[in-house]
Structure 1
């Protein structure tokens, strides 16, 4: 496993970020693969993917790899300094602020670790899971022409409140027969659980807020992204295995039949839209990750490495 190091962003000098960096091998093209965590798993869970990829690419060029923990996450114990005066520390900053931090991190890493003074000359490959996919999209939107490829692993439903995924038994004209044989009270309980755990009004331990994520990314299928070569970036969209996710969700509350009937089709439609953020000839997916729930990199790192390798073959 790569050694964890610490640095302070020049824009936030009072706090340290934990990161790992692995230098490129046998490649003349400056390519940097950046792994973007969700809210649930820290950077350490990307290391099995990197090891699998190194095995796959034996004898072939290897890019540079960067993992990091955002403020207040994993091995980054420092909080975001800008959250110090937040009324609610669980909603201290939004995804756009996290993207701006990422930009500054990349400026410093490419300068200090790659010896490259102009970040625009580095081909970026962003690999995200969950809310990390939203960060990847926002980065590509905020800095057009800079991202060569994106691997999106079970993206957060950025434009959803996570409650409306399920029918509302209290809506006018609701017909209980429409959800049969699922009892009305079961759906009502599932909606309450989703609101309590997943609604955007629920903050996070790291202070990253999702309150305005629906405004930042209102559509799964746009806007179209611009890559560095006059066309859209290569994009691979990966979704969870339906059965594995249903079993995973059942441990938290929603019975598998409810997840299979409402959540999985909803998520699949979202992913189908996500595959349209680039031109069709540069898009792949949605591809289902076998035996993987929401945390694809944990459940099937070999599959992630294979999909990332396929993208690198196009970028390197």
Structure 2
């Protein structure tokens, strides 16, 4: 296991970020795997994936690995300096600002740890969970030609308000048959709960706002990303296990039948779009992670190791 260290981005010298870096082994070209957290789990949940992957690849070349906690998250106790004076500290900055921070961190790691002055010459693999998948897509869009592969683990529904996933019993065109026998009041309660917990207007403790995400990523199936070799990056899209997610969701509110009827099909359609952000021959999925809810790296790290190792075989 790598020790967590701290650094200041040269663009934000007044604050410290926590990170862990593990050096490459026998790699023929500079390759860096960067893990992008969701809002829920900090960088420590990636470390078992890295340990198992290195054990699997023992005797073979392995890339460098970088995990980090964003400002105000996990062991990065410093807030984003740019949030100072924000009207609402829970909406201090957006996802694009976090992508710019990631770019700066990757630039500094490439220089300081890999000895590479041109960050765009590093073969970059981004592994994201939840909103980390949105950050990975935005990074590849913002810096075209720089990302060799993306592993997207149960991506956030970037273009959804999370309420419209469920029928609106109060809409003029509401069809009671859409509920398949579920009580109207139960759906109203689920919609209210989704608005209270998951709507983009709900901020985050770290100050990362999702309000602009719908405009930044309006479609799951585009735009088409540009990779470093004149074609799109390798993209593997992973979704949650439907039953495991339904059980996980039931602990927070929505009954399993509601999740199975509305949420799981909606998410699957979103993931079917995600595989189209690169050319067909470089795309895989959507595949479901067995026995894994939303936090795939926590529930089934072995599965993540398998899929990441497959991408490494293509990129290294």
**Band the TM-score falls in, shorter-chain normalisation:** over 0.9
Equivalent residue pairs, number: 316
Distance 1:115 1:8 in 2: 18
2:11 paired with 1:11? yes
Distance 2:15 2:178 in 1: 53
**Which stretches in structure 2 are left out of the alignment for 5+ residues?**
none
Deviation of the 1:304 alpha carbon: 0.1
Distance 2:235 2:290 in 1: 19
2:239 paired with 1:239? yes
Question: Hey, what does 1:116 align to over in structure 2?
Answer: 116
Distance 2:101 2:112 in 1: 16
Distance 1:75 1:33 in 2: 20
Distance 1:51 1:243 in 2: 28
Alignment of structure 1 residues 206-221 onto 2, 5 Å: 206-221=206-221
2:282 paired with 1:277? no
Alignment of structure 1 residues 143-162 onto 2, 5 Å: 143-162=143-162
Contact 2:34 2:125 in 1 (8 A): yes
Distance 1:180 1:236 in 2: 34
Deviations 1:258-303 (A, max 9, x none): 0000000000000000000000000000010000000000000000
2:292 paired with 1:259? no
Question: Hey, what does 2:125 align to over in structure 1?
Answer: 125
Alignment of structure 1 residues 21-60 onto 2, 5 Å: 21-60=21-60
2:100 paired with 1:104? no
Instruction: Report the 3-state secondary structure (helix = DSSP H, G, I; strand = E; otherwise coil) of the residue aligned with 1:108.
Output: helix
Distance 1:270 1:110 in 2: 34
Contact 2:167 2:178 in 1 (8 A): no
Question: Hey, what does 2:182 align to over in structure 1?
Answer: 182
Contact 2:236 2:284 in 1 (8 A): yes
Distance 2:177 2:251 in 1: 27
Deviation of the 1:116 alpha carbon: 0.6
Question: Hey, what does 1:170 align to over in structure 2?
Answer: 170
Instruction: Report the 3-state secondary structure (helix = DSSP H, G, I; strand = E; otherwise coil) of the residue aligned with 1:14.
Output: strand
Deviation of the 1:175 alpha carbon: 2.4
2:72 paired with 1:72? yes
**CA RMSD, aligned part only?**
0.5
Deviation of the 1:56 alpha carbon: 1.3
Distance 1:128 1:212 in 2: 19
Deviation of the 1:173 alpha carbon: 2.7
Distance 2:178 2:304 in 1: 38
Deviations 1:48-92 (A, max 9, x none): 100111121111110000000000000000000000110000000
Question: Hey, what does 2:223 align to over in structure 1?
Answer: 223
Instruction: Report the 3-state secondary structure (helix = DSSP H, G, I; strand = E; otherwise coil) of the residue aligned with 2:252.
Output: coil
Question: Hey, what does 1:309 align to over in structure 2?
Answer: 309
Distance 1:43 1:174 in 2: 43
Instruction: Report the 3-state secondary structure (helix = DSSP H, G, I; strand = E; otherwise coil) of the residue aligned with 1:28.
Output: coil
TM-score relative to the length of structure 2: 0.99
Question: Hey, what does 1:136 align to over in structure 2?
Answer: 136
Distance 1:177 1:26 in 2: 60
